[in-house]
Amino acid sequence: MSNENLKTVLQEKRTFQPQDHFQKNAKIQSMEAYKEKYRESIENPEEFWANAASELHFFKKWDRVLNAENPPFYRWFEGGKTNICYNCIDRHLDSATRNKAAIIWEGEPGDEVVLTYADLARKVNQLANGLKKLGVQKGDRIAIYLPMIPELAISVLACARIGAVHSVIFAGFSADSISDRINDCQAKITITSDGVWRKGKKLLLKNIVDEAVKKCPSIEKNIVVKRSHKDHFECAMDENKDIWYHDLIENCSLSCPAEEMDSEDMLFLLYTSGTTGKPKGIIHTTAGYMLYSYYTSKYVFDLQPEDVYWCTADIGWITGHSYIVYGPLANGATCLMYEGAPNAPHKGRFWEIVEKYRVNIFYTAPTAIRTFMKWGEDWVNKYDISSLRLLGTVGEPINPEAWMWYHKVIGKERCPIVDTWWQTETGGMMITPIPGCTTTKPGSATFPFFGIDATILDKDGNEQDTGFLAVRKPWPGMLRGVYGDEERFKNTYWSQWENIYFPGDGARRDEDGYFWILGRVDDVVNVSGHRIGTAELESIFVSHASVAESAVIGIDHEIKGQAMVAFVSLREGNEGSDSLIEELTQLVIEKIGKFAIPERIIFTADLPKTRSGKIMRRLLRDIAEGRAVGNVTTLADAGVIDALKEKYQED
């Protein structure tokens, strides 16, 4: 969290109690009820999770809830057989949910698709059969590079149905990023689209995939969705390698039995940035992830049968995996899915959609809220958004100002706000209010979810009020590893303390026991809720012939939460210029994508270093944020996150 925001958070004293109108129908209606259930979940986790899992369908029941014999390689529901696609779709087909909308989709240009659970079943089964026709088998990896169109959700579910491991790559990533991810997991197939609308402009995704797969010998076929049947996106098709999605599924049977997966069979990979240059393929497996995404959705969104639920994330990130596809569908909920930008074609687009579909639950990121604040209330007030009953945020710390604006302007002081802290690695929400019972404080993620034994520790493992966030017990949704890199899995998450999970965030607990997440303590910058490793950018810059060294840091940003500033020192004989900035920017676009472009690139003769040669990032942050350069900080003030970072980076 930025220093400015942190100051306001440290002074924040306002509280908001659950209101009667929400509480009276809520799943959990009092703090006593939460505490009782939480206590059960911590004292008897196996019994607790076994009961929760009995709400879902297993082809064969597990023999053992948790195997903790070989930490950190925890195994959940061993011996069980299940399928998450079956639980998201088939489980609902014998009830009235069969003909309820599963996905309501709105395209950026305003086109609409509504799929009931029965429709979704047909589409997923057909594609599952199509994939089988191409020779896809259980365990094969499939890279999905699709925009937010229904086929993205369908593809994910079709993979899960036949036991293929999906690796969704956010459709803002460059060709280089795609090929890195494909090569890391040796994917066999890509699923992409000819193009997508982005703020009225065509973006030709298939061309990007073509570029990527030139470097990917493992790819056998590219499946291509025709995004628009009216406006054809220009797209070359190689008759040996490329196949149209609609041709593939033509004549495919509408029924494909769901593969009976072992509980610990791999479900998906999702790549995320870390402190070193290479993104990590986070592994999630079947039963535990299924249960955790299902159970958190049920309680944190307090899902009621008639709700229309909208999460504005992209399925290319974990939030979309857990809270657009798996969690809500496992609950039989109606999910809205929107293809486009919040300001296309106008800045009231989100509220227009809320009005049009009578959205009840709305889940978005603080950066979006700050953007709406900047655009002004008038855009909101043009629409009737009185259907909203619950609001959520995720992705980065929310500053109290943005929280209050959300509460007043969007929630009309009527809707509870759930500020949910979690990560790609955790599979689902970890620290979050439960609406209906938790009294909230603006900027605090409040208390741990059921089964989550969260605390705050110092480097040596002693409990503190301010320090590193830690999770002491395994939970079903936890990552099971880093693809192909066991050492990295152990070092990154389990080496700080013994058998305690280290998420990489700083946190503080106040006198009432509320958790306040302060931000990353490692070299990961959170730009608009997107995690970007500074080392990733640094290695891109030094790959340029003129660059000697580079240090990238995160600084406060009013809208994005954090922005990146790159300090670059040049090799002898080179000079900083606008054209060099342009070249470096292009390099970032090519290697990662536009969303990773730093806010500023500053040329410098030298980088400040400690005697042992470590770059003094805090000094760089002071310079970039225009503060007097100093190094006096105490834990209680706004320098806390910097101080934590320094501690973390100490040898």
- By rule CB under 6 A, what string of x and - marks binding of each residue 448-487 to ligand 6R9? ----------------------------------------
Minimum Å gap between C-beta 478 and ligand 6R9 is: 13
Q: Nearest CA to 277 among 532, 26, 559?
A: 532
- Count, residues near ligand 6R9 per rule CB under 6 A: 24
Minimum Å gap between C-beta 225 and ligand 6R9 is: 25
Kindly state whether residue 428 participates in binding ligand 6R9, applying the rule CB under 6 A. Answer: no
396 is in an annotated binding site: yes
Q: Nearest CA to 173 among 536, 597, 594?
A: 594
Q: Closest CB to ligand 6R9 among 348 and 504?
A: 504
Number of H helices, E strands in the chain: 22, 31
CA-to-CA separations, 70 to 49, 75, 473, in angstroms, rounded: 20, 9, 14
Q: Residue 191 contacts by C-beta under 8 Å, 6 or more apart in sequence?
A: 142, 143, 144, 145, 146, 151, 155, 222, 223, 225, 245
Q: Closest CB to ligand 6R9 among 1 and 580?
A: 1
The stretch among 18-26, 368-376, 421-429, 573-581 that binds ligand 6R9 (CB under 6 A) is 421-429
Q: Closest CB to ligand 6R9 among 517 and 537?
A: 517
Q: Closest CB to ligand 6R9 among 86 and 363?
A: 363
Kindly state whether residue 399 participates in binding ligand 6R9, applying the rule CB under 6 A. Answer: no
Minimum Å gap between C-beta 498 and ligand 6R9 is: 21
200 is in an annotated binding site: yes
Which of 395, 433, 442, 474 touches ligand 6R9 (CB under 6 A)?
395
Q: How far apart are CA 118 and CA 587, in angstroms?
A: 46
397 is in an annotated binding site: yes
Minimum Å gap between C-beta 574 and ligand 6R9 is: 36
The stretch among 47-55, 119-127, 388-396, 610-618 that binds ligand 6R9 (CB under 6 A) is 388-396
The token pair at 129 is 């059969």
Q: Which 488-507 residues touch ligand 6R9, going by CB under 6 A? A: 503-505
Q: How far apart are CA 518 and CA 421, in angstroms?
A: 11
The stretch among 39-47, 223-231, 513-521, 562-570 that binds ligand 6R9 (CB under 6 A) is 513-521
Which of 26, 115, 290, 318 touches ligand 6R9 (CB under 6 A)?
318
Which of 34, 58, 406, 421 touches ligand 6R9 (CB under 6 A)?
421
15: left (phi over 0), alpha (psi -120 to 50) or beta: beta
Minimum Å gap between C-beta 558 and ligand 6R9 is: 17
Kindly state whether residue 16 participates in binding ligand 6R9, applying the rule CB under 6 A. Answer: no
Kindly state whether residue 397 participates in binding ligand 6R9, applying the rule CB under 6 A. Answer: yes
Indicate the length of the chain as a whole number: 651
DSSP lists the bridge partners of residue 194 as: none
Q: Which 339-378 residues touch ligand 6R9, going by CB under 6 A? A: none
Q: How far apart are CA 601 and CA 591, in angstroms?
A: 17
Q: Is 8 helix (H, G, I), strand (E, B) or coil?
A: helix
Q: How far apart are CA 250 and CA 247, in angstroms?
A: 5
Q: Nearest CA to 515 among 457, 573, 557, 580?
A: 457
403 is in an annotated binding site: no
Q: Closest CB to ligand 6R9 among 332 and 529?
A: 529
Q: Which runs of consecutive H residues, i.e. helices, occur in 441-524?
A: 486-494
Kindly state whether residue 445 participates in binding ligand 6R9, applying the rule CB under 6 A. Answer: yes
Minimum Å gap between C-beta 515 and ligand 6R9 is: 9
Q: For the CA atoms of the chain, what is the radius of gyration? A: 24
Q: Residue 548 contacts by C-beta under 8 Å, 6 or more apart in sequence?
A: 542, 569, 570, 571
Q: How far apart are CA 10 and CA 448, in angstroms?
A: 20
Kindly state whether residue 394 participates in binding ligand 6R9, applying the rule CB under 6 A. Answer: yes
Q: Closest CB to ligand 6R9 among 298 and 520?
A: 520
Q: How far apart are CA 535 and CA 541, in angstroms?
A: 10
The stretch among 165-173, 404-412, 420-428, 453-461 that binds ligand 6R9 (CB under 6 A) is 420-428
544 is in an annotated binding site: yes
Query: What are the strands of the beta sheet with 261-262, ordered from one edge?
Result: 58-60, 81-82, 261-262
Count the neighbouring beta carbons within 10 Å of the beta carbon of residue 634. 9
Q: How far apart are CA 117 and CA 93, in angstroms?
A: 7
Q: What is the largest CA-CA distance in the chain?
A: 73
DSSP lists the bridge partners of residue 566 as: 552, 601
Q: Is 328 helix (H, G, I), strand (E, B) or coil?
A: helix
Q: Whose CB is nearest to ligand 6R9?
A: 424
Q: Closest CB to ligand 6R9 among 357 and 421?
A: 421
Q: How far apart are CA 225 and CA 149, in angstroms?
A: 10
Q: How far apart are CA 430 and CA 382, in angstroms?
A: 35
The token pair at 471 is 């999770």
Q: What share of the chain is helix, strand, coil (3-state, %, to 5)?
A: 35, 25, 40
435 is in an annotated binding site: no
Minimum Å gap between C-beta 612 and ligand 6R9 is: 27
Q: Closest CB to ligand 6R9 among 197 and 289?
A: 289
Round to the nearest angstrom and report the end-to-end CA distance of the chain.
Answer: 24
Minimum Å gap between C-beta 195 and ligand 6R9 is: 26
Q: Which 517-556 residues touch ligand 6R9, going by CB under 6 A? A: 517, 519-520, 526, 529, 531
Q: Closest CB to ligand 6R9 among 584 and 640?
A: 640
126 is in an annotated binding site: no
CA-to-CA separations, 314 to 154, 391, 469, in angstroms, rounded: 14, 17, 27
Q: Which 188-247 residues touch ligand 6R9, going by CB under 6 A? A: none
Q: Which runs of consecutive H residues, i.e. helices, occur in 458-613?
A: 486-494, 534-542, 578-591
Q: Which 242-281 residues touch ligand 6R9, going by CB under 6 A? A: 272
604 is in an annotated binding site: no
Kindly state whether residue 317 participates in binding ligand 6R9, applying the rule CB under 6 A. Answer: yes
Which of 179, 312, 420, 444 touches ligand 6R9 (CB under 6 A)?
420
218 is in an annotated binding site: no
* Binding-site residue set for ATP: 395-397, 419-424, 505, 520, 531
* Binding-site residue set: 198-201, 319, 343, 395-397, 419-424, 505, 520, 528, 531, 542, 544, 547
* Binding-site residue set for Mg(2+): 542, 544, 547
Chain contacts with ligand 6R9 (rule: CB under 6 A): 272, 317-319, 394-397, 419-424, 445, 503-505, 517, 519-520, 526, 529, 531
